[in-house]
Amino acid sequence: MAGKCSPLGEEIVSRIHQLAAISETPNNLTRIFLTPELRAAADLILTWMREAGMSAHLDAIGNVCGRYEGDRAGLPCLMLGSHYDTVRDAGKWDGPLGVITAISCVADLNKRGKRLPFAIEVTAFADEEGVRFASTLLGSRAVAGTFNEGVLATKDAAGIPMREAMVQFGLDPDHIGAAARVRGELLAYIELHIEQGPVLEAKNLPVGVVSAIAGATRLAAKLTGMAGHAGTVPMALRRDALAGAAECIAAIERLCLEDDGGLVGTVGYIHASPGATNVIPGQAHFTIDMRAPTDLRRNRSVAEMVRRIEAIAKTRNLALQLDVTHENRTVPCVPWLKEQVAAAVAAEGYPVFELASGAGHDGMAMVDIADVAMIFVRCRGGISHHPDEHVEPDDADAGARVLLRVIENFRPNS
Ligand SMILES: [Zn+2]
């Protein structure tokens, strides 16, 4: 599918760069919830939505909401969306690709004067990454009506409470409820997003059909042994917490490698104390992140993982403390909607390939008010949350053509 890309792909790429120019820092991309940069980005998105024939406004949490009426006013909508906030030192495509592609699809319909038997809404969520207030999916939770008002009191790194940041942004923290939508207003929620992993590239495919957004369990582990002199304590008499942690990490990796159903496990943080060259580590803290495409598999795997590291701790005479720090359920993409995405992929001439999303997405919140499907677009090297994040223009175009086809052939669940 190489060659010159269509105007849809060209427009998308050009807008990706325009949006990426709105950043807190000049040399890299950082656009955080409730900042002046987010507001400037919202204004640009509002302009694009209106040019595409949509009515558009900022909702009570700062999401940018556009609506393209169906063949008569007031019909329930097919909602498309993604987020327009970023991590720090971000890539240009994570989030904005889904927003910009959806707007380009609507613009294309509008140009042809085409109305459908349902409305189309595009939502650019104001906070998905959760960088500022350490709580993710704030934008989509507000839309799904599951926003936790307790978050309003949390402060950012500069000590500014979210409530105050909302007022500065021009929003009323006492009216977040106004952003909430109800199930009957939405026929489905479909999100196009970069894969953020290397699977599509390895398969040589520009697009993929997401099977589920993998649930995750995060745990904090603490192993306690006995600190001692690195020269005087014989090996057989040691209770080395760090060596125990190393064995646990290898066991977690082995458990995931043995699995053939998409289980992944990561130890991304470790700390040993006292932490000196000549002292046997008396204590080790580490984190565990485990994800799988089904909750059953994840729960079973976490249980097995706990059994294995308990056995390691016992053998080494180490005290083990394990705490679950975070857990979210798997969001399956429903068959009726997934089939429509697959049909569009096939109609565009690509093999239909299903993959699970290991990363979290706004669909995790939207599932509370709508059935969810996702389209993944290949990104170079699987790199994401990094300035090197890149999507080929032809792939952006392929994603847009698939999404446009999904929209035009969309049939609500009967
Ligand atoms: Zn994202």
Summarize pLDDT for 389-412 with one digit per residue, the tens.
999 999 999 999 999 999 999 999
Give the three-state DSSP class for 65: strand
Ligand 1 centroid–CA 129 distance in Å is 7
Ligand 1 centroid–CA 403 distance in Å is 17
Ligand 1 centroid–CA 282 distance in Å is 40
Ligand 1 centroid–CA 140 distance in Å is 12
Ligand 1 centroid–CA 26 distance in Å is 21
Summarize pLDDT for 350-373 with one digit per residue, the tens.
999 999 999 999 999 999 999 999
Give kind and range of the element (H or E) at residue 208. strand 207-213
Ligand 1 centroid–CA 346 distance in Å is 25
Ligand 1 centroid–CA 236 distance in Å is 49
User: How distant is the alpha carbon of residue 379 from its chain centre?
Assistant: 15
- Who's near 84: CB < 8 A, 6+ residues apart? 19, 31, 38, 41, 42, 45, 64, 95, 96, 99, 124, 125, 126
User: Percentage of the chain surpassing pLDDT 70?
Assistant: 99
Ligand 1 centroid–CA 367 distance in Å is 16
Ligand 1 centroid–CA 94 distance in Å is 4
Q: Do 350 and 207 form a contact (C-beta atoms < 8 A)?
A: yes
Summarize pLDDT for 131-176 with one digit per residue, the tens.
999 788 999 999 999 999 999 999 999 999 999 999 999 999 999 9
Give the three-state DSSP class for 205: coil
* Whether pLDDT at 107 is above 90: yes
Summarize pLDDT for 170-225 with one digit per residue, the tens.
999 999 999 999 999 999 999 999 999 999 999 999 999 999 999 999 999 999 99
Read off the pTM. 0.90
Q: How high is the pLDDT of residue 173? A: 95
Q: How high is the pLDDT of residue 6? A: 61
Give kind and range of the element (H or E) at residue 209. strand 207-213
User: Mean of the pLDDT values across residues 272-278?
Assistant: 97
Ligand 1 centroid–CA 95 distance in Å is 4
Ligand 1 centroid–CA 18 distance in Å is 18
CB burial of residue 222 (10 Å; 0-12, 13-18, 19+): middle
376 vs 309: CA distance, rounded Å: 35
